[in-house]
Amino acid sequence: MAERLTDEERGTALDQLAGWRLVEGRDAIARRFVFSGFVEAFGFMAQAALVAERMNHHPEWSNVYRTVEVTLSTHDAGGLTALDVALAAEMDRIAARMT
C-alpha cells in the first residue's frame, strides 16, 4: 500500500508540479485545468480516466464546460502519496499535449 509522503517528499513533489496547490484543511493537491471548449475538456478527462484506471488510482474531479477541477489524495492512506504525484504528472502531460 502507498504510504503518505514525508514533509520533504511533499515539498519536492510540489516544486515539480507547477500549477498544483495544497488543498486547505486536507492532505490533498488540486489543480484547475482550462481548455478551449467542452470537447477538449472532456477529451482530457477521457484520457486521464484511462490512465487513472490503469494506475488503479482515481481522481476526484468536476467539470463545468471548458474547466476541469481535479483533487488528488489517496483515500486508503489518508493523504498524499506517490500515487497522487504520479497521477498529477500524467494529467499535466495529457493537458500539455492538448494545448
- Cβ-based neighbour number of residue 51 at 10 Å: 16
Contacting a copy of itself within 2-41 (CB under 8 A): 38-39
Contact present, 27 and 75 (Cβ < 8 Å) = no
Nearer to a copy of itself, 3 or 53 (CB): 53
Tell me how far apart the alpha carbons of residues 6 and 36 are, in angstroms, rounded to a whole number.
37
**Interface stretch with a copy of itself, choices 11-19, 27-35, 63-71, 79-87 (CB under 8 A):** 63-71
User: In this structure, what are the phi and psi dihedrals at residue 4, rounded to the nearest 5 degrees?
Assistant: -60, 145
Is residue 64 a contact point for a copy of itself (CB under 8 A)?
yes
Is residue 47 a contact point for a copy of itself (CB under 8 A)?
no
Interface with a copy of itself (CB under 8 A), residue from 12, 36, 65, 99: 65
- Cβ-based neighbour number of residue 23 at 10 Å: 14
Is residue 61 a contact point for a copy of itself (CB under 8 A)?
yes
The 3-state DSSP class for residue 3 equals coil
Site residues, a copy of itself (CB under 8 A)? 38-39, 42, 45-46, 49, 52-53, 58-65
